[in-house]
Amino acid sequence: MNNGKVLFVFMVIASFVRLDKITIDMETVTKNIATTSERIQRLWQLVGNTPMLELHYQYKGKPGRIFVKCEHYNLTGSIKDRMALYILHKAYENGSIQPTDVIIEATSGNTGISFAAIGKAMGHEVNIIMPNWLSKERMDIIRGFGARIITVSKEEGGFLGSIRLSENMAADGDVFLPQQFSNCFNAEAHERTTGPEIYFQLQQIGLLPDAFVAGVGTGGTVMGIGQYLRGENPAITIHPLEPSESPTLTTGYKTGSHRIQGISDEFIPSIVQLDQLDETVQASDGDAIIMAQKLSAELGLAVGISSGANVVGAIKLAEKLGSDSVVVTILPDSNKNI
């Protein structure tokens, strides 16, 4: 980060905000869950309504602050739980999934973990297709939730090959494809949950967000949260983030390799509408790794590399917008999922 030293302190700025109307009868928690709707209701108690922190830091000798939403507090340790549960929730509502269907998804990591856990909790068999160069730790977590993993090499098409394989497997029927990169419910999950939580948590301390930045994997986070926050504050700027080593959003195609798993997956997903977003922010993978380590070692925030990238991007934005600006980002994942 241009040799700027970053020193942190943090404070909790808002308590949990319960935004949905899901209720639960505590007397029946230990009983067998009879219906799909009951399973979904109970899973929503474990996903979302995460805390927000205000991080204070010194960068290039100047004080600054940013606001971070702690999505590593979700069920499996990542923001992808919101999208996975919401997509399955809507699929059951509209009848596009059956209780006996196999869930098959192409993913670069956290989405696979989320669908493995939530799909199994809903009673489904789950197959996860992923490039074979992703971390063994992520694969072990997915297998630990009982899902089957199918790996695809670069010679077999890499990530795009994983998507093609999932579509081919679905042709035999009795399969549900979440299709995270093109499913409109991906972004809607964040427009309906994460965005409102951010807005109301800031509102509790009398603030409005001036800017939001988040790394782009599927694009659901930045598009959905951006949609909601723009509705509340039209002056806000919404910034996608990409690795400086692989500026896919800037160039329109894969240009290099990087170490921030889960973002910049070789192509620009159809969910991402760049004409609705503001300037793309870049973070190097080296800075992202160091930042994730600092957040863990200095603040006890057990977050992953993509969280480090988002914090780097937020600090850059705050430097540009001024010390009084309210810049918000996401800590999307736990360091246990690396």
Six token digits for residue 188: 């809607």
Element (H, E) at 66: strand 62-70
Largest interatomic CA distance in the chain = 61
* C-alpha span between 103 and 119 (Å, rounded): 7
Q: Determine which helix (DSSP H) or strand (DSSP E) holds 37, and give its type and residue range.
A: helix 36-44
Structure tokens at 74: 């979700």
Nearest to 203 by CA among 328, 33, 61, 295: 328
Structure tokens at 285: 């993978």
DSSP output for 167-223: HHHHTTSSEE---TTT-HHHHHHIIIIIHHHHHHHHHTTT---SEEEEE-SSSHHHH
Phi–psi pair at 213, nearest 5 degrees: -135, 140
Distances (CA, A) of 140 to 128, 255, 335, 338: 12, 29, 14, 11
Neighbouring CB atoms inside 10 A of 208's CB total 13
What are the backbone angles phi and psi of residue 324, rounded to the nearest 5°?
-90, 0
DSSP type of residue 333: B
CA dist 85 and 73 (Å) reads 15
* Residue 66: strand pairing partners: 55
Please choose, from the candidates 223, 175, 189, the residue with its C-alpha nearest in 3D space to the C-alpha of residue 111: 189
Cα distance between residue 287 and residue 295, in whole Å: 12
Instruction: Give SS3 for 55.
Output: strand
Catalytic residue numbers read: 80, 306
